[in-house]
Amino acid sequence: MLKPYIPILLGTGREGRMSEKVAEYLLEKVKMFEFKTEILDVRDFVTSVTVPAWVENEQVKKWKEIVVNAQGFILVAPEYNHGYPGELKIWLDKALAEYKNKPLVVCSVSSGGFGGVRMFENLLPILHYLGFNVLGETISFSKVKDDFENPDYLKLDEKYFKQIEMMKNSLLLSVK
């Protein structure tokens, strides 16, 4: 049986982004699971203007092909001022029907103590509208500077292992 393809979406283009370290951490952990993955970076898909899903465009076509071939997604996105990054919305708007019922786990990131839950609350209605099957096994990475500025951050298994296991199981049950 072929392994399902479930990429990690890095949803911020900000310089010095801590979300990148979270995505790299998840990549190392997810590689051990029963699916193929890679990090897809918002910087590689966003233009300075919004290109809607119905417009013929090479970037839109490339993104739609990825979405069609993926069996699910892990989204890593930070909370900026209680919301999500604008470039993430521009990226997501490049497809629509292709998202229908695709499982998605959101990993929110914040330097504060709430782990980006406000970002997730604001993004959730959009994800539902786009047609994603948003799974309940979210992971909130709080105080990321404390955890991820340490060179040994890949050893955070104790803190996040159970949540990552639950995320994996939920994704594998949801993929078709």
CA distance 61 to 53: 9
> Above 90 in pLDDT, residue 56?
no
Q: How confident is the model over 1-44, as pLDDT tens digits?
A: 588 999 999 999 999 999 999 999 899 888 888 889 999 999 99
Which residue bears the tokens 């104790």?
Answer: 158
Closest CA to 154 of 50, 11, 32: 32
Phi/psi zone of residue 17: left (φ > 0), alpha (ψ -120 to 50 degrees), beta?
beta
* Beta carbons of 138 and 166 less than 8 angstroms apart: no
> What pTM value is reported for the model?
0.92
Average pLDDT value for residue range 130-150: 88
CATH architecture, domain 35-113+131-174: 3-Layer(aba) Sandwich (3.40)
pLDDT of residue 114: 78
Q: How confident is the model over 84-139, as pLDDT tens digits?
A: 999 999 999 999 999 999 999 999 999 888 788 899 999 999 999 999 999 998 99
The pair of structure tokens assigned to 21 is: 């370290």
Q: How many other C-beta atoms can be found within 10 angstroms of the C-beta atom of residue 56?
A: 7
Half-sphere exposure of 109 (CA within 13 A, CB side): 24
Element (H, E) at 108: strand 103-109
* Beta carbons of 45 and 58 less than 8 angstroms apart: no
Average pLDDT value for residue range 140-169: 80
Domains of the chain by residue range: 35-113+131-174
